[in-house]
């Protein structure tokens, strides 16, 4: 039998004809497979208390436990006595970097629970000034410990009117924002069920009024659900303003047991091309290690 040599032109022609004769369903399936391969697999970390639970571990022990359980990072939190923590002095921050390096995981963020005590919305001007200084010092602390994001919860402990709270928050964060810009870190404002910054439209108005690239959003879908908001509506609106995401469950002990639609939230985050961290803020339960392990596995299963 005569075998004609396969020229480049005849090969390309044959390939084109073959493509045209493929069933449409098969082509779509191939496209779907290609898209599946590009699914974002988010890095997952845990707030320090999620790992410590009732054991009250040190930060060094938190890093070790986080690494042992398979977390990629730890979020360090400080409260009213923030100035006495390792995070608030140069030697302490050096030690924390050493703990992270020894464990082989990151410190992507710090959490300033302190704002429940020192709010930008406070009636006392001295407290508002302290809130500004806290943010400025937090920017330095975050940079030196290797964290990019700083969680600042929207707080209003004096229950001032919404318009006043918004005005004070915009003014205060604007004063502090240059410190974050200079440090190369981000103030991430978190929705924590306060009326003046609960809906995504309100959060957007505040962040955009501040107008700094170093001020974004720390979105908490669990808090949104608990306050009657729909995270699947909020995520496309907040979009690129979202710098980091907290993960918790509502009306359930573990992720997947409650009413927060986490599989759909993962898809929504992928749809806006979010590439940041998912940070567990889940219930430590009576067995923090077991709970963290279970929640991490569940979250991973949603990313398949």
In a domain, 22, yes or no: no
Which structural domain range is residue 76 located in? 42-301
107 close to 73: Cβ distance less than 8 angstroms: yes
Domains in the chain, number = 1
| Within a domain: 114 | yes
The predicted-structure confidence for 149-171, as pLDDT tens digits, reads as follows 999 999 999 999 999 999 999 99
Inside any domain, residue 152: yes
Q: Any idea which residue has 């930008």 for tokens?
A: 120
Residue 166 lies in a domain: yes
10 falls within a domain: no
pLDDT, one tens digit per residue, over 15-46 is: 444 444 445 444 444 444 434 446 889 999 99
Closest of 50, 71, 27, 67 to residue 287, by C-alpha: 50
* 186 domain residue, yes or no: yes
Please report, for the domain that includes residue 175, its CATH number. 3.20.20.150
Quickly list DSSP for 1-64.
-------HHHHHHHHHHHHHHS-HHHHHHHHHHHHHHT----EEEEEHHHHHGGG---HHHHHH
- pTM reported for the whole predicted model: 0.88
- Taking the C-alpha atoms of residue 113 and residue 10, their distance in angstroms, rounded to an integer, is 68
* CA–CA distance, 141 with 133 (Å, rounded to integer): 12
What pLDDT was estimated at residue 24?
44
Residue 25 resides in a domain? no
> Running DSSP on this structure, what letter comes out for residue 180?
H
Q: Report the distance separating Cα 239 and Cα 273, nearest Å.
A: 9
pLDDT digits (tens, 9 = 90+) for 117-142: 999 999 999 999 999 999 999 999 99
Q: Is residue 188 part of a domain?
A: yes
């Amino acid at each position: 039998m005569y075998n004609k040599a396969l020229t480049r032109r005849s090969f390309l022609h044959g390939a084109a004809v073959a493509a045209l004769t493929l069933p449409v369903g098969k082509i779509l399936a191939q496209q779907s497979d290609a898209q599946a391969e590009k699914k974002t697999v988010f890095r997952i970390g845990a707030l320090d208390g999620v790992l410590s639970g009732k054991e009250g571990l040190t930060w060094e022990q938190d890093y070790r436990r986080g690494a042992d359980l398979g977390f990629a990072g730890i979020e360090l939190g400080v409260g009213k006595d923030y100035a006495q923590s390792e995070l608030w002095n140069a030697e302490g921050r050096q030690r924390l970097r050493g703990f992270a390096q020894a464990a082989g995981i990151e410190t992507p963020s710090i959490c300033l629970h302190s704002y429940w005590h020192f709010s930008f919305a406070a009636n006392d001007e001295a407290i508002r000034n302290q809130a500004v200084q806290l943010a400025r010092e937090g920017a330095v602390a975050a940079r030196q410990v290797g964290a990019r994001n700083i969680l600042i919860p929207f707080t209003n402990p004096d229950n001032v009117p919404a318009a006043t709270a918004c005005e004070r928050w915009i003014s205060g964060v604007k004063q502090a924002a240059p410190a974050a810009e200079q440090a190369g870190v981000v103030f991430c404002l978190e929705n924590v069920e306060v009326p003046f910054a609960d809906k995504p439209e309100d959060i957007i108005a505040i962040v955009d009024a501040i107008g700094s690239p170093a001020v974004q959003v720390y979105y908490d879908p669990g808090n949104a659900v608990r306050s009657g908001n729909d995270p699947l509506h909020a995520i496309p609106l907040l979009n690129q303003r979202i710098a980091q995401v907290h993960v918790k469950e509502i009306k359930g002990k573990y992720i997947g047991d409650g009413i927060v639609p986490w599989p759909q939230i993962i898809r929504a985050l992928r749809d806006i091309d979010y590439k940041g961290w998912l940070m567990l803020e889940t219930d430590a339960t009576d067995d923090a290690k077991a709970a963290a392990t279970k929640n991490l596995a569940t979250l991973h299963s949603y990313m398949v």
